[in-house]
Amino acid sequence: MTRPSLDLPWTHVDDLYLDGAWRPALATARLPVVDPATGEEWGSVPDASAEDVEAAMASAVAAFRSGPWPRLSPSERAEVLLRMAEEVEKRAEPLSWTNTRENGSPIAETSGAAANAAGILRHVASLAAWLEAEDVRPFPAGGAETVVRREPVGPCVLIAPWNFPINLMVIKLAPALLAGCTVVMKPAESTPLSIRFVVEAAEAAGVPAGVVNLVTGGGAVGEALVRHPDTAKVAFTGSTPVGRRIGAACGELLKPVTLELGGKSSAIVLEDADLDAMAKVLVRSSMRNTGQTCYISTRILAPASRYDEVVEMVTATIAAGKQGDPFEPDTVFGPLATRAQRDVVLGFLEGAAAEGARVTTGGAAVDGPGFFVQPTVLADVTPSMTVAREEVFGPVVSVLRYETLDEAIALANDTSFGLGGLVFSSSPQRALEVAERMDTGSVGLNFFASNHAAPFGGRHDSGLGVEYGVEGLSAYLTFKSIHRRV
Ligand code: NAD
């Protein structure tokens, strides 16, 4: 396999970013960083101690209480975000290579990570005008008015998973910064290095000391940050069980929390769907990032009249995607990000076979080093099978059969989740009508993408609150109403 010839600046590190500088961690415990394509340990980071967590929070609290950042105007902070966007873009290549080496995402995916982060920073910067707009509301009965102030909520804890370590942190960091908050970021234990390029970009852009802090570690570190008395808000992306636990802690402690959790989304194929067009977007909408994407539609609901045709198209399209070294530019499917995730996916495949699903391509682990599972299509999946109900988070799609449109919509809505979804149809109006009946946070018509300007979030077990847009920015604000006589 071709490994990066580029010297990656960060491999084995013993520091955390606190109070505006990289400082040695107090912890002696360490966490390995493993290349999922080879199984080789190529880096390691501190597993932060309680003292490290305390120091990171103290830094964020001091910068919030007495530093310049919350006192700048939104436009002044936006200027810094725009500079940060440029600084992230300058680091695109080592960021992408580090990301691919951490989690095995194909380089074709991670090579866009810096540009995506820069796009988020620029869009959020453009919301400064909304944030600072004068907001005065007359009392409906007259005689007085209220000045509504949008203030930063305080020091925030940002916790991300391993599948998109840059995007899922930057969609929290950018609005938190524009709002005037300070942050402590905790990336996932398997992807702790690539986010350092974002920290570096913040420093180079002139974000003041203490505003952005980075600690590394596992769930215990995340939990200590969530429960810290000075944490004013928690933003979390990750699994539903961990999200529930964080939500319970935040409920008990009365801290605002945003939870972006798991999904089990459906693509409803209508009878008039253009299957050639669907084939072109299928990998991205149903198996993006080797199936490790929260919103992908891994249940394809096909009309009985076209079931065999849909199974054939899905099978041929997935089978044609090259699997291999994620550093090869034409690789479509890499390994799973961790050994544990590979084992989870193989468990789902065993269960599906036992329950009667028919494998039309893939279906097994790949021999050799690394955590590879073949991209798999399962036909004859019925709604009660485990693989049709639970999030697999791997390269597995199921094709289910429906007789009537009402049945298809009921099937799509028969899940504890509600994150993404798709409708494939040649009729924009019919597709829109179906999308309106789907009980989910986002739906794509013949394609799926998230829009930095529009809210993204899940219903039911997929989460609480939204990210992106002014709605996402509002999660980092607290409101003050100042009433005066007129
Ligand atoms: P995970 O829940 O195991 O871990 C996510 C993060 O939470 C990690 O940083 C982890 O260290 C931390 N953590 C673990 N226990 C914690 C605790 N008790 N308190 C505080 N922090 C804790 O998730 P994962 O396996 O890394 O990621 C995969 C999951 O993320 C999938 O379920 C996927 O659907 C979900 N996800 C959701 C979205 C979304 O936007 N809805 C996006 C991407 C991924």
Tell me, letter by letter, the H, E, C secondary structure of the chain.
CCCCCCCCCCCECCEEEECCEEEECCCCCEEEEECCCCCCEEEEEECCCHHHHHHHHHHHHHHHHHCCHHHCCHHHHHHHHHHHHHHHHHCHHHHHHHHHHHHCCCHHHHCCHHHHHHHHHHHHHCCHHHHHCCCEEECCCCCEEEEEEEEECCCEEEECCCCCCCHHHHHHHHHHHHHCCCEEEECCCCCCCCCHHHHHHHHHHCCCCCCEEECCCCHHHHHHHHHCCCCCEEEEECCHHHHHHHHHHHHHHCCCEEEECCCCEEEEECCCCCHHHHHHHHHHHHCCCCCCCCCCEEEEEEEHHHHHHHHHHHHHHHHHCCECCCCCCCCCECCCCCHHHHHHHHHHHHHHHHHCCEEEECCCECCCCCCCECCEEEECCCCCCHHHHCCCCCCEEEEEEECCHHHHHHHHHCCCCCCCCEEECCCHHHHHHHHHCCCCCCCEECCCCCCCCCCECCCHHHEECCECHHHHHHCCEEEEEEEEEC
- pTM comes to 0.98
Distance 244 CA to ligand 1 centre (A): 11
12, 49 in Cβ contact below 8 A?
Answer: no
pLDDT, tens digit, 9 for 90 and up, residues 116-133: 999 999 999 999 999 999
State residue 366's pLDDT score. Answer: 97
Q: Residues 83, 121: contact at Cβ < 8 Å?
A: no
Cβ–ligand 1 distance for 242 under 6 Å, the answer yes
pLDDT band of residue 416 (cuts 50, 70, 90) is: very high
Q: Tell me, in angstroms, the distance from the centre of ligand 1 to residue 47's CA.
A: 17
Q: At what angle do helices 240-253 and 219-227 cross, to 10 degrees?
A: 20
Mean pLDDT, residues 247-255 taken together: 98
226 lines ligand 1 (CB under 6 A): yes
Q: How far is the centre of ligand 1, averaged over its atoms, from the C-alpha of 392 (Å)?
A: 14
Question: What is the CB neighbour count within 10 angstroms for residue 418?
Answer: 23
pLDDT digits (tens, 9 = 90+) for 205-247: 999 999 999 999 999 999 999 999 999 999 999 999 999 999 9
Maximum CA pair distance of the chain? 77
Does the pLDDT of residue 346 top 90, yes or no?
A: yes
Q: What percent of the chain has pLDDT over 90?
A: 98
Q: 109, 189, 203, 260: which one is catalytic?
A: 260
Which numbered atom of ligand 1 lies nearest the CA of 186?
9
Any atom of ligand 1 within 6 Å of the Cβ of 222: yes
How would you class 400 by CB atoms within 10 Å of its CB: exposed for 0-12, middle for 13-18, buried for 19 or more? buried
Does residue 4 register a pLDDT over 70? no
294 is catalytic: yes
pLDDT category of residue 7 using cuts at 50, 70 and 90: confident
Closest approach atom of ligand 1 to CA 260: 41
Testing ligand 1's pocket by substitution, the residue of 261, 296, 462 carrying the most ligand atoms inside 8 A of its CB is 261
Cβ–ligand 1 contact at 218 (below 6 Å): yes
Pocket test for ligand 1, best of 171, 225, 255, 294 (most atoms within 8 A of CB): 294
Condensed to tens digits (0 to 9), the pLDDT of residues 439-449 reads 999 999 999 99
Distance 231 CA to ligand 1 centre (A): 19
What pLDDT band is residue 6 in, cutting at 50, 70 and 90?
Answer: low
Residue 12 pLDDT exceeds 90 = yes
Point out the ligand 1 atom lying closest to the alpha carbon of residue 240: 32
pLDDT for 165: 98
- CA angle centred on 70, ends 68 and 73, rounded to 5°: 90
The rounded Å distance from CA 242 to ligand 1 centre is 7
Q: Is 231 in the pocket of ligand 1 (CB under 6 A)?
A: no
**CA-CA distance, 379 to 287, in Å (whole number)?**
16
Active-site choice (294, 309, 433, 436): 294
Q: Does residue 300 register a pLDDT over 70?
A: yes
Take residue 358 and report the two structure tokens written for it: 């028919």
Ligand 1 near 237 CB (within 6 A): yes
CB of 52 closer than 6 angstroms to any ligand 1 atom: no
Cα distance between residue 372 and residue 341, in whole Å = 10
pLDDT score of 2: 58
Q: What is the pLDDT of residue 3?
A: 67
CA of 265 to the centre of ligand 1 (A): 18
Q: Average per-residue pLDDT in the chain?
A: 97
Could you tell me if the CB of 239 is within 6 A of ligand 1? yes
Specify whether the CB–CB gap between 419 and 442 falls below 8 A. yes
Q: What residues contact 340, with CB distance under 8 A and at least 6 apart? A: none
Whole-number Å distance, alpha carbon 239 to ligand 1 midpoint, is 4
